[in-house]
Amino acid sequence: MASSAFISIKRTKIPFSLNSFSITKFTLFSTLIKNHHQKISPQITSPPVPKKLPFTVSAHGVTWNDPYHWMRKTNDPDFINYLQQENLYAQSFMKDTEEIQKGLFSEMISRMPSKISTPPELWGPWLYYQYIPEGKEFPVLCRKLAAESKGWMKTVSSYVIGVAGKEQILLDWNEIAERYGYVHVGTCRVSPDHNYLAYTIDVTGSEQFVLQIKDLRNDCVLPTLGVEGVVSVEWAQDSCTFFYTLSDQNQRPYRQFSIL
């Protein structure tokens, strides 16, 4: 299996696989420095105190109280309000470093390349690659038809000078983030016949990834899937059968399913 910093491609008869960990780290970093550059709130002198609700937990013969169990419900208005108060307090606490933050922000931005791209990876007739468009926060997954010239180095050279085919965007993280306000892409798999893209996304921050399959021939996401809690995905060699694993309540993989 050949790999790069952002993308790993299985060159044999195994479907294309995207590992977005490295590029996600850059995305997280850019998000953090943007947040630090936001306007600082009025001064708040004391940290917020979360409410306590009685709740008893028992496991392995041991029982204890967990007054913060209510925080498991991340859509609870009280929990959201508490997080907002925490953020306001943190901003107020760091208020005297505002000028330093601005200076660090400007310096880090000046050291970042305007466009981050992975080297193209040849699989079948296609060159697969990934990059963060200028002015955007999230990456896009793309491919081009490789040039007809033989040899890996000639193919890469053709890609660099623009001889390869027209770019096709397979998945744009930015479009999903604009639609939902948040996006975390778990994994991507292109089918062996290069006609389908299976991927998992989390748009709530719950780490419960939803499975979606996109027909790359017409750029349409197949309906009526929406399987939640997907951990991993894999195509069979016929490009018609698809396997995936689901997580249990502890977010550990425990069952495998197939779609025909």
Separation CA 127–CA 119 (nearest Å):
9
- The residues, ordered by sequence, that sit 6+ positions from 212 with a Cβ below 8 Å of its Cβ are 198, 199, 200, 201, 221, 222, 225, 226
Please say whether the beta carbons of 188 and 176 come within 8 A: no
DSSP state of 134: T
196-223 burial: b if 16+ Cβ within 10 Å, else e: bbbbbbbbeeeeebbbbbbebeeeeeee
The predicted structure's pLDDT at residue 155: 52
Quickly tell me which residue has 């933050």 as its tokens: 101
CATH superfamily of 2-21+117-259: Prolyl oligopeptidase, N-terminal domain (2.130.10.120)
Separation CA 259–CA 210 (nearest Å):
15
164 pLDDT more than 80: no
Separation CA 52–CA 195 (nearest Å):
52
pTM (two decimals): 0.62
142-163 burial: b if 16+ Cβ within 10 Å, else e: bbbebbeeeeeeebbebbeeee
Please give the distance of CA 39 from its chain centroid, rounded to a whole number: 27
Separation CA 16–CA 12 (nearest Å):
10
The predicted structure's pLDDT at residue 227: 82
148 pLDDT more than 70: no
SS3 assignment, position 253:
strand
What percentage of the chain reaches a pLDDT higher than 90? 43
The pLDDT tens digits for 182-220 are 888 998 999 999 999 999 999 888 888 989 899 999 999
Please give the distance of CA 97 from its chain centroid, rounded to a whole number: 31
Separation CA 86–CA 205 (nearest Å):
18
Question: pLDDT-based confidence at 69, cuts 50/70/90?
Answer: very high
Worst-scoring range by mean pLDDT, 8-12, 38-42, 61-65? 8-12
Q: Which amino acid is at 66?
A: D
DSSP state of 96: G
Averaged pLDDT, 59-88? 93
The predicted structure's pLDDT at residue 44: 78
3 pLDDT more than 90: no
| Cα diameter, the chain | 70
Please say whether the beta carbons of 36 and 28 come within 8 A: no
Worst-scoring range by mean pLDDT, 34-38, 180-184, 202-206, 239-243? 34-38
Over the chain, what is the mean pLDDT? 79
Q: Which amino acid is at 30?
A: S
What percentage of the chain reaches a pLDDT higher than 70? 75
38 pLDDT more than 80: no
222 pLDDT more than 50: yes
Separation CA 122–CA 10 (nearest Å):
10
Please say whether the beta carbons of 197 and 214 come within 8 A: yes
Per-residue tokens: 82: 């508490």
Per-residue tokens: 205: 């921050």
